[in-house]
Structures are given as C-alpha cells and as structure tokens.
C-alpha cells in the first residue's frame, strides 16, 4: 500500500508542473493521431515517403528559424509541400516513384545543411528540430496541436473505408470508381500534418517510433483493421506517457525512452506472433 501511495505522490508531484501537464496533453493528442495515421502508412507501404516527408521538415524548420518565424510553421509548410511531391509520384510504390521521393529527400537535406551553414547560431534550434523538445510545449502550442489532431482524425474517419479499400486492393478499388490518386494525396497531406506534430515530441529523426513501430506491432498482433488501428493508437500513447514519466525522473531525453519502448514492444510482438507482414488486413 505504501508503494502505491509513493507512486501516486510522485505522479502528483510531476503533474504539479505546468510544462509536464502541457507535455502530456499535447503528447497524447499527437500519439493518437500518429497511431491511426501510421497504420495506413505502413499498410500502404509508404514508409519511405513518410521518412522523406519527415526529413523535409528539418529544412523547413531551420529555414523558418533563419527568417525569424516559427520553426513549426516552416516544418509544417515544407512537409505539406513534400506530401504533394510524393503524391504526384503516384499511388503505387514503383521504382520511378521511389526515385522521385528520393530526389525530394536529397534536396531537403541539402537545403537544411545550407540554412545551418548560413547561420550556425541556430544549432540549438536545429537540435530541438531533430530530436524534439517535448518539455517546451506552451499553452498556445497545445491549442494548435489539439486542433490539428482533431482535424486529421476527423478526415481519416471520413475517408477511412475507401482508403483501406484502395490500400488493400488498389486495382479493384479503381475499377469500382474509388479516386485512388486523390485519396493518396489527401492521405499524404494528413501524414505531413501528423509528422509536423510528432516532431515536437521526438523530432524529425525519431518520428517513426510513433508512426511506424506502434503500427507495425499492432499489425502483427491482429489482422482486423479496426482493432489494429485502436491498438496502434493505444501503443503510441503508452510510449509517449512512458517516455515523459521516465524522462522526468531521470536525466535522459524523452525520445530515447519512446524509441526504446517502441523497439522492445515491436520485437516482443514479432517474437510472439512470428515474422509475418508488419501490417496485414483481413479482406
């Protein structure tokens, strides 16, 4: 009993700080969105596109910082532009599509290096862009995060069924009049918004811990899309909460704990359920 009281007291102490309450609120909203969007990203085989979009955020944020405007605005703007570029490469993953996405990736990394070289004074800002700055979330950031998360989840709820159809059987979906290209671009835009949000927690380098790992683990655990999406979102929330709590009571960063928890969970699920497809869906 005394142990439970101690844990309760410590959690109460942690939540007495406004920056921790802000981190938990924004982190939960981001995790829910990343878990849901990430499931479709892995199912559609667009992890490389997602990786590219996240890296363009580095160039956008560093460029915005150089101009003296909000790094988040630059990050969001560049990820949206990258989403349009990746979407124009086509709905299916092909060699030409991968090359086009790779070109976007190399250009964005080159721009990021250029912006840092122009003004090295932004090195500190660059580190927060790359690895996140969870504990620096303000009250105004929370409102933006919740608004973007709610909008993304609302849109994915509207397009979820046709998007699932075109993701599992694109030829049949197109034959039945499903606008595959439009859905692909719209989904990539949602992915861009999610990446921009998640970068606040783990940074653009580690964003896949929330987007891909929880989704892949959920997909291995069950082939039922509805259950897998729910499980993916739940796992992402657990990873974020664990990272925030562990980081508060230790000197180590949030991103380390989130990525470690995600890795251990995925490997455990893969060991239990075998080495099947990271995400599968029953037709």
Q: Which domains does the chain have, with CATH numbers?
A: 22-273 (1.10.3470.10)
State yes or no: pLDDT of 182 exceeds 80.
yes
CA 223, 41, 252, 26 torsion: positive or negative?
A: negative
Give the pLDDT confidence score for residue 61 in this predicted structure: 77
Let me know if 283 is exposed, middle or buried by CB neighbors in 10 A (0-12, 13-18, 19+).
Answer: exposed
Give the pLDDT confidence score for residue 173 in this predicted structure: 85
pLDDT in tens, 40-61: 999 988 877 777 787 787 777 7
Give the pLDDT confidence score for residue 122 in this predicted structure: 60
Give the pLDDT confidence score for residue 271 in this predicted structure: 87
Token pair in block for residue 140: 């105004």
pLDDT in tens, 138-176: 677 788 888 989 999 999 999 999 999 998 888 888 888
How many angstroms separate the CA atoms of 257 and 261, rounded? Answer: 6
How many angstroms separate the CA atoms of 192 and 6, rounded? Answer: 41
State percent of the chain over pLDDT 90: 24
Residue appearing with tokens 């989130």 = 258
**Range 270-283 average pLDDT:** 66
State yes or no: pLDDT of 279 exceeds 70.
no
State yes or no: pLDDT of 239 exceeds 90.
yes
- The single-letter DSSP state of residue 61 is H
pLDDT in tens, 252-273: 888 889 889 999 999 999 888 7
How many angstroms separate the CA atoms of 186 and 213, rounded? Answer: 22
Residue 66, classed as helix, strand or coil, is helix
How many angstroms separate the CA atoms of 272 and 278, rounded? Answer: 13
pLDDT in tens, 81-139: 888 877 766 555 554 566 667 777 677 767 777 777 776 666 555 556 666 666 666 67
187 and 44 Cβ atoms separated by less than 8 Å: yes
Q: Pick the residue with more confidence: 197 or 278?
A: 197
258 and 242 Cβ atoms separated by less than 8 Å: yes
């Amino acid at each position: 009993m005394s142990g439970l009281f101690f844990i309760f007291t410590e959690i109460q102490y942690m939540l007495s700080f406004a920056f921790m309450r802000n981190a938990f609120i924004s982190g939960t909203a981001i995790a829910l969105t990343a878990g849901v969007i990430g499931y479709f990203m892995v199912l559609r085989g667009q992890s490389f596109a997602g990786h590219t979009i996240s890296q363009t955020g580095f160039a956008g944020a560093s460029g915005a910082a150089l101009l003296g405007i909000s790094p988040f605005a630059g990050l969001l703007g560049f990820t949206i532009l990258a989403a349009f570029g990746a979407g124009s490469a086509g709905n299916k993953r092909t060699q030409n599509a991968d090359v086009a996405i790779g070109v976007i990736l190399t250009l964005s990394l080159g721009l990021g290096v250029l912006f840092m070289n122009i003004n090295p004074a932004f090195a500190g800002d660059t580190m927060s862009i790359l690895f996140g700055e969870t504990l620096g979330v303000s009250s105004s950031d929370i409102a933006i995060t919740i608004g973007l998360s709610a909008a993304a989840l609302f849109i994915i709820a509207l397009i979820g069924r046709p998007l699932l159809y075109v993701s599992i059987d694109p030829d049949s979906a197109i034959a039945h009049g499903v606008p595959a290209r439009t859905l692909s671009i719209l989904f990539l835009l949602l992915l861009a918004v999610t990446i921009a949000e998640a970068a606040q927690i783990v940074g653009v380098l580690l964003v896949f811990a929330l987007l891909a790992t929880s989704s892949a683990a959920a997909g291995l655990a069950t082939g039922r899309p509805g259950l897998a999406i729910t499980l993916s979102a739940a796992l992402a929330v657990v990873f974020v909460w664990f990272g925030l709590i562990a980081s508060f009571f230790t000197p180590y960063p949030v991103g380390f704990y989130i990525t470690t928890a995600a890795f251990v969970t995925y490997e455990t699920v893969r060991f239990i359920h075998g080495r099947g497809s990271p995400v599968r869906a029953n037709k």
